[in-house]
Amino acid sequence: MAQARCQYELEEKVLAAPDSQHVFIPESTLTDTWLRMKARYDSEQEFDSSLAQLDMSPESYRQALERELRIDAILEKVAEQAGKVSEEEALAFYQHHPDKFTLPEKRQARHILITLEDSWGRRASRRRCARWSGFSPR
């Protein structure tokens, strides 16, 4: 959720930038995108069901499409103004800024196995497991 919020805030900054004031999406482009998105579904009911799962109406989905298209157009416009970077310059930047290209390792545990010695006996093992809330003996 934090990533979505961060992306939304970044998009808001893009939309508020001076370069964005003169970027408009033609209705024909929006309609074409809308129709291509609907064509991904086997039926109108499946499309409507998908919108319902997202808690969106057709109108709010269309507005979201327009927003996304506008952001893409603004970013393309800004990218056109940026100077060309050679492969050597890109490699030099990469080598001088390794911290910008690495992420800390992330791990996710879904199960933790705790084994108890057989010498404790089955009843004692169950009592010990019961003391740890959230754990159940297997």
Q: Tens digit of pLDDT for each residue in 9-39?
A: 999 999 998 888 889 999 999 999 999 999 9
Is residue 75 included in any domain, yes or no? Answer: yes
Is residue 119 included in any domain, yes or no? Answer: no
Structure tokens at 22: 């003169």
Is residue 26 included in any domain, yes or no? Answer: yes
Is residue 103 included in any domain, yes or no? Answer: no
Domain housing 28? 2-83
The whole model's pTM is what? 0.60
Which spans in the chain are helix H? 2-16, 27-39, 44-53, 58-81, 87-96, 122-131
Instruction: Return the DSSP state at 55.
Output: T
Residue indicated by tokens 């159940």: 136
Is residue 96 included in any domain, yes or no? Answer: no
Q: What is the tally of structural domains in the chain?
A: 1
Cα(137)–Cα(53) distance, rounded to whole angstroms?
Answer: 37
Is residue 29 included in any domain, yes or no? Answer: yes
Is residue 16 included in any domain, yes or no? Answer: yes
Structure tokens at 78: 């800004």
